[in-house]
Amino acid sequence: MLPFIGKWIGENLLFSSVLESDDRVPCVTFIMPRSIVAMLHILKEGDDVEESLRFGLLLPRIEFWIALVSTLIMGAIFSSAASCIIYRYIILPRKQSNDKKTRMPPIVSPYLVGFGIVMPLCAVSPYYYLRYFGIKNKIIKFLAGVAQLTSFFRCSEAMFGFLPPNVEDTLTNLVIYTAFPIEIKFHTNRRGAMKSTWNDVGYYLIHWMKYIVIFGIYSSFMQVYNYQPYPNVEGHALWDIKLWTGFAWRQLINNALVAILFQIHLTTFGYGINFLTSLAGYQQNPMMLNPIFESSSPSDFWGRRWNLTVHGILKRGVYKPFRTRYSRLIASSATFLASGLFHEWLLSNFDDGSCSPLCYLPGYGRNTLFFLWNAIIISIEYAIGGFAVFQLCRAHLPLQLVSLMVAATALPMAHWFTNDYVRSDFFSDAQIGFPLIVRVSD
């Protein structure tokens, strides 16, 4: 039975065109009055709004979620296999070389195994996997690279000895830590991962369902404009960047709306992974903590609220190894550079030379430039963030206003990061799994 189910999922979901385009049929239609239609068109200049329009409700495709869970399972298998290599040839030799009683040189250098085998395997395997099976949906392509990405940086954590407490105590702990695309919580005073309860399962299920609805509502609004209300006046290549473009009010609106969409997107899928991980029996750290609307500083945004899973692996896999030898400024810059480069790598998984439905070639370099810009912002915060004027602002201004000021430090450059996701039909492929309100012909 299991081989049959696996074959059906592979042939009908992951490796077919069934999730390549949104061909859903509305389950119900309704008339929307002119006042609401006008609100949907408020950003479209010169549009004539009819008295009323007929809209339909599209239900989520269950196949989309089956495909995502299947991809997560395959990623867990890859990460578990990588963790076995990491434990045998990196962690154990490092422990033995540090043990005064049983000190002995490793047969193979842990750095040779890490830098020469595990990391290159993580970097190149998605290309063969995606192209061999012909996966089309951009969300599945993105998720197919997540396991390799986390394994890449967790290998660095192991080589330099910065794994979380108790993770490297046993192979079982390491497998649990690496198999999930989110950070599992481990006990600090005894062995083993923290177990989830049914209350945890229910909590994450409720929040996941809530954000599925929020994502559907927001996407229903954004897809009217093809996910950006105003046309992009800047080219797509790195050399097309013009600093002043981001300060135009139309571009700022585009950037703000897509940034909010990105946060909702990551929060929704994060809660979904939280739910599945809790269902598997383990507690985990959250992925997103409302960074756009509740951050008190740039370092709070990137370090304690935005994509905490990635923050954790970058902190332990890049920042701490650099920090042992170099200044905080250099370590922070190296971390943001690594973040930019791995986002470029994720975009390269989208580049399959096809037009489905958009012709897309990544604008390589733009993501890296965006994260380097934020490295500069963080460096400035390190230098002047302690000044009295900034401390007074944080203490006395409303949090929403402070968050707006924090977002303003990156908002004019946000399209360097988000435009590739808009152009690649990334969000269009995501909407297949969510309820959506669309206009239908009479």
pLDDT tens-digit map of 229-244: 888 877 777 777 787 8
Strand order in the sheet with 28-33: 28-33, 52-58, 436-439
Half-sphere exposure of 260 (CA within 13 A, CB side): 16
Give the three-state DSSP class for 55. strand
Identify the weakest region by mean pLDDT among 179-193, 251-265, 352-366, 402-416.
352-366
Average pLDDT, the chain: 86
Phi-psi region of 92 (alpha: psi -120 to 50; beta: other; left: phi over 0): alpha
- Tell me whether residue 319 is exposed, middle or buried, using C-beta atoms within 10 angstroms of its C-beta: 0 to 12, 13 to 18, 19 or more: buried
What pLDDT does 362 receive?
81
First-to-last C-alpha distance (Å) of the chain: 45
pLDDT in tens, 292-339: 999 999 999 999 999 999 999 999 999 999 999 999 999 999 999 999
Q: How far apart are CA 158 and CA 181, in angstroms?
A: 17
What pLDDT does 49 receive?
53
Give the single-character DSSP code of 21: S
DSSP secondary structure string, 375-424? HHHHHHHHHHTTSHHHHHHHHHS-HHHHHHHHHHTTGGGTHHHHHHHHHT
Give the three-state DSSP class for 129. helix
Does the pTM surpass 0.95? The reply is no
pLDDT in tens, 209-225: 999 999 999 999 898 88
